[in-house]
Structure 1
Amino acid sequence: MGNRDTWTAENVPDQTGRTAVITGSNTGIGYHTAAGLARHGAAVVLAVRDLDKGAAAADRITAEYPHATVVVQELDLSSLASVREAAEKLGTAYPRIDLLINNAGVMYTPKQTTVDGFELQFGTNHLGHFALTGLLLPRLMQVAGARVVTVSSMAHRIMAAIHFDDLQWENGYNRIAAYGQSKLANLMFTYELQRRLAAHDSSTIAVAAHPGTAHTELTRHLPPFLRPADRLLSPLMVQSAAMGALPILRAATDPEVLGGQYYGPSGIGEQRGQPKLVEASRQAHDAELQRRLWAVSEELTAITFPV
């Protein structure tokens, strides 16, 4: 696979015959992840909220890689009904799914709730993906070496905790802390899912990745007091969405990846650079909290996993 310190999109192995479902893939990191997989032969499903934007993204990928197979599936992660409908259609269309990449997300949004009454960031970033994974896992477990890759963030360390006493932020709201909770939940979900898959003797693995500080649409809800610093520091710290996609691509395709690993950029503070194996916070590895989060997530989504 070449020099392990300079892993690039060129290192993605042949994906011919594999099917990849990628959430939030019409723009940013998700788009470049989809393009990277399609380029190397995977049949790619862009699971997106906006079908027109999804179709435009599919057209861009196939224009660049005419051999690519790219289709669009409507999915709104902030609606459990939409998640169930999408999972049913995907399960019917694809008896086998090799890759599920839980990439979509919202960041620093003003206080809002999903149609199911969940705080928007927790409901979309964690619960929506939790439900989708649970519904699609039977398809993944039929495939030797299938992977679930969930995208977290350096924000899992920033003001982050799982607020079991007020998961939906009904008693006050801090958009930065709420985002941190959702990204911490993504990691805890990955570790608990991997433990369950291993106990089930499944060859399917759960892996996490983060893009560092990448230029994407996620920053549109950045609080006003952070915008001057963002403008000042961006040229020094922010990398392209294509570079931000590399840790996800590596987690999804590198044959040396193991279940429960976490990939991110190799530069200072993991903000930019080539993808490498990185470490999550101590809190993310708390097995008791992982199990507690899993139980409450099953209860809130009414989704039970086959492991």
Structure 2
Amino acid sequence: MTPSNSRRILITGSASGIGLQAALQLAASGHRLVLADRNVAAGEAAAAQIRQSGGQAEFRALDLGDLSHIRAFADEELAREQPLDALINNAGLLPPMRRATTADGFERAFGVAYLGHYALTARLMPALLRSSAPRVVSVSSNSHPGGRLDFADLQLERNYQSSQAYTNSKLACLMFAMELQRRSDAAGLGLLSVAAHPGISSTPIAAGWKSENRRRLMDRFEVFGYDTLMRLVGQGAADGARPLVLAAAGADIAPGGYYGPTGFMQARGRPGLVRPARKARDAAVAARLWQESQALTGVAWPALG
């Protein structure tokens, strides 16, 4: 890759798992990586691993569960006055069986995986628009059809279930990607917004979730179900990262498109364009989600309204 083709790409949740594997693959193709993660030791080690392999990478600490930290992170990035060619909103978590909240009081999965990235993308928009071909990739899941966005209870304060919290956050991420494309098109910004998902992939996040949720009998049943599914149709993190890499750096990417494994049930296989659930394509719900998210985070989008 020539220096003119090398893109500066920021990946959240890139200290391990899918995010790290995406970073390794992108760095091997000559792109310049900014790794962002709350785990400082692992993030610095990941950046060092890429540099030792001849790639270009730096690490910066980011806690997506804290809006004040997101603002400080973005302010530092904007002060560098460098173009940001692509942002991969990858960080996420498997929610605990008992409801937990972020520093700002949001349900943890929704707050980190969705609202945190909503705020981060808004604040990094000036850096993205310095690029001649800016791109935002929002990471969803093939479980997003199970999501239900109840605007009377977005934070699941009345009826919390960990699996529902996860699918809600991933449905929101997918709808955000499509709505961002609609708004970019309307404003004539030239930004490409897409979504991607890794299929069913083994990651350290899943390992941590299993360790945390072996206490109650019902929790152990859910862990057993996850393990069984992984054995039957799962794939490694390196393969799971391939749709993200395609979405972030591939040619002929469809605006507002959704990329994932094209094999059985989108669980594994060659990465390509896949079809999201009908509910994810509801523009009216996506527009309301955008407005609700703006109100919750207090983050404005001067370029988009």
TM-score (norm 1): 0.92
Distance verdict in 2 for CA 1:15–1:237, change over 3 Å: farther
Question: Secondary structure at the residue paired with 1:215?
Answer: coil
The reply to whether residue 120 of structure 1 matches residue 108 of structure 2 is yes
Question: Secondary structure at the residue paired with 2:11?
Answer: strand
Hey, what's the Cα distance between the residues in 1 that align with 2:6 and 2:79? 17
* Equivalent residue runs for 1:90-239 within 5 Å: 90-109=77-96, 110-158=98-146, 160-219=147-206, 220-222=208-210, 223-239=219-235
Asked if structure 2 preserves the Cα contact closer than 8 Å seen for 1:15 and 1:41, the reply is: no
Hey, what's the Cα distance between the residues in 2 that align with 1:83 and 1:42? 24
For structure 1, the residue ranges without an aligned partner over 5 or more in a row are 1-11
For structure 2, the residue ranges without an aligned partner over 5 or more in a row are 211-218
Asked if structure 1 preserves the Cα contact closer than 8 Å seen for 2:92 and 2:112, the reply is: yes
The amino acid that maps onto 1:248 is L
Question: Secondary structure at the residue paired with 2:57?
Answer: strand
Hey, what's the Cα distance between the residues in 1 that align with 2:19 and 2:5? 20
Which piece of structure 1 moves more, 198-207 or 117-126? 198-207
Hey, what's the Cα distance between the residues in 1 that align with 2:176 and 2:19? 20
Residue 55 of structure 1 corresponds to which residue in structure 2? 44
Hey, what's the Cα distance between the residues in 2 that align with 1:83 and 1:59? 24
Residue 214 of structure 2 corresponds to which residue in structure 1? none
Q: Give the Å deviation of 1:234.
A: 2.2
Asked if structure 1 preserves the Cα contact closer than 8 Å seen for 2:95 and 2:108, the reply is: no
The amino acid that maps onto 2:135 is R
1:204-252: CA deviations, max 9, x gaps?
Answer: 1100000000010222325421222333342331101000000000011
Q: 2:290 aligns with which of 294, 301, 306?
A: 294
Q: Give the Å deviation of 1:14.
A: 7.9
Asked if structure 1 preserves the Cα contact closer than 8 Å seen for 2:138 and 2:177, the reply is: yes
1:26-85: CA deviations, max 9, x gaps?
Answer: 10110011111111222111111021111111122222x22x111111100000011001
Asked if structure 2 preserves the Cα contact closer than 8 Å seen for 1:98 and 1:143, the reply is: yes
Counting matched residue pairs gives: 293
The amino acid that maps onto 2:28 is R
Q: Give the Å deviation of 1:163.
A: 1.7
Hey, what's the Cα distance between the residues in 1 that align with 2:106 and 2:272? 34
Distance verdict in 2 for CA 1:16–1:52, change over 3 Å: farther
Hey, what's the Cα distance between the residues in 2 that align with 1:187 and 1:77? 18
Residue 264 of structure 2 corresponds to which residue in structure 1? 268
Distance verdict in 2 for CA 1:148–1:129, change over 3 Å: same
Q: Give the Å deviation of 1:94.
A: 4.6
Q: Give the Å deviation of 1:16.
A: 4.4
Structural RMSD (CA): 1.6
Q: Give the Å deviation of 1:15.
A: 7.6
Hey, what's the Cα distance between the residues in 1 that align with 2:43 and 2:4? 21
Which piece of structure 1 moves more, 14-23 or 272-281? 14-23
Distance verdict in 2 for CA 1:233–1:116, change over 3 Å: closer
Question: Secondary structure at the residue paired with 2:138?
Answer: strand
Question: Secondary structure at the residue paired with 1:154?
Answer: coil
Hey, what's the Cα distance between the residues in 1 that align with 2:2 and 2:154? 40
Asked if structure 2 preserves the Cα contact closer than 8 Å seen for 1:152 and 1:208, the reply is: yes
